Amino acid sequence: MEARRSFLRRLSGASLSWLALAQGGCGRQTGPGAPATPDLIDPGRIPTTPLDQPIAVPKVNGAINVQPLRCLGCAPTDPTLDPALVALQLEAVYTLGFDGIRVTAPLSDRGSLLAAIPYVRAARALGIDAVVLLADFTGLTLAHALADPGRRRAILELYATLFAAQQAPLAPGLGGLGPGETGRVAFQVLNEPVGFVGLPPDTYVREVLAPCFAELHDIDSRIIVVAAAESGNLSGPARVRAMLEAGLERACDRIAYHVYTRDVIGELPEHVRRVVWVTESGIEGGARHLPWVREVFPEIVARLPDVTRVFYFDLFDPKPDGFRVLDIRQQPAGASVVAESGALYDYWSGRVLEAAGGRPLLSFRQLVPEVRVYFPTATDVRAIEAAPF
């Protein structure tokens, strides 16, 4: 096990001892001998700038799932994309010190696909990695397209066009892992394939994931390809093992797990030949959120040494007292954010302030005075309209 930990530390630049004590966020080495493509940002890195010089928010709290919100109370077919709502969630992601987001970009829901674009582009400009989940909320449109050799390439080129273009950094010292310390992009190919689209593990790996992996790397070698996770309960591990038997480790850059019960941790494969990201983990009930992050996240990393990143689920969703940390409410003066999971919000905020060491922090509004610059363009709309749905 120690040899495996040493290998992963060299591969990802992670301080696994810190991860075991904290929450499995994202770390990196700098200087001679550092990995060429580190996987983690070092949350223990101490700013060296003068105490009165503003710095970007330290990325100390791992990663989080974000559901792109485009309008409140609107119909599913409403094309409205409210910049204030986009800014509210992105501001929370930046201010709370996350180094990665995960968003769903459904092919069958054009409004939601367009809504995901500014979240990914702005996050990457802020130095935050973006995992774009290639999955539909309902139906099989995207799964069928990715399994179809006649349409797969065009669909993947569409996603690369919309999400993978390099973003210009918004300030020095953002701490991201892409050029200019911007964020990288990763594509996760489907979500829990058995439960959501009825794909058996071996079929998923051989007929969907493996060809997508090859095509995406041919389109843009910088794209990180993440395998689908299976369910985060005790039905998931057997499906993960079946994926591994079908060649999962040769068909992606990152293997993914979901963890929604502590019981599943010991049943998941402990060692694989790829780095693992836990792309969803959380628990229902606001009073249980902080204990989950402080106790279960370190347990995941301690018991599954291949894990280098854990994505909390989730920032906002419509269900009160469920998984969400924030509620977003429509007020007469506009939408506002309420920290529904106050203890977890305060915990994350405290870690940011501690890492800043008394230095003033550049605000989101200073860096992103107008979020609309990251909105879909006419070229994006034409690309979507030309896609072979």
Q: What is the pLDDT of residues 328-379, one digit of tens each?
A: 998 888 889 999 999 999 999 999 999 999 999 999 999 999 999 999 999 9
**With contact defined as beta carbons under 8 Å apart, do 383 and 162 qualify?**
yes
Quote the DSSP letter at residue 27.
B
Could you tell me if 216 and 160 are in contact, meaning their C-beta atoms sit under 8 angstroms apart?
yes
The pairing of strands 185-189 and 224-226 is parallel
Q: What is the DSSP string of 224-237?
A: EEEPPP--SSTTHH
Between CA 381 and CA 384 the distance in angstroms is 5
Per-residue confidence (pLDDT) for residue 269, from 0 to 100: 96
Whether the link from the prior residue into 218 is cis, omega within 30° of 0, is no
Residue 16: the pLDDT is 33
In order of their start, the domains of the chain are 16-25+55-385 (3.20.20.70)
For CA atoms 133, 18, 9, 55, the dihedral sign is: positive
Give the pLDDT of residue 24.
Answer: 36
In single-letter form, the type of residue at position 278 comes to V
Name residues of the chain where pLDDT drops below 70. 1-46
So what's the pLDDT on residue 242?
98
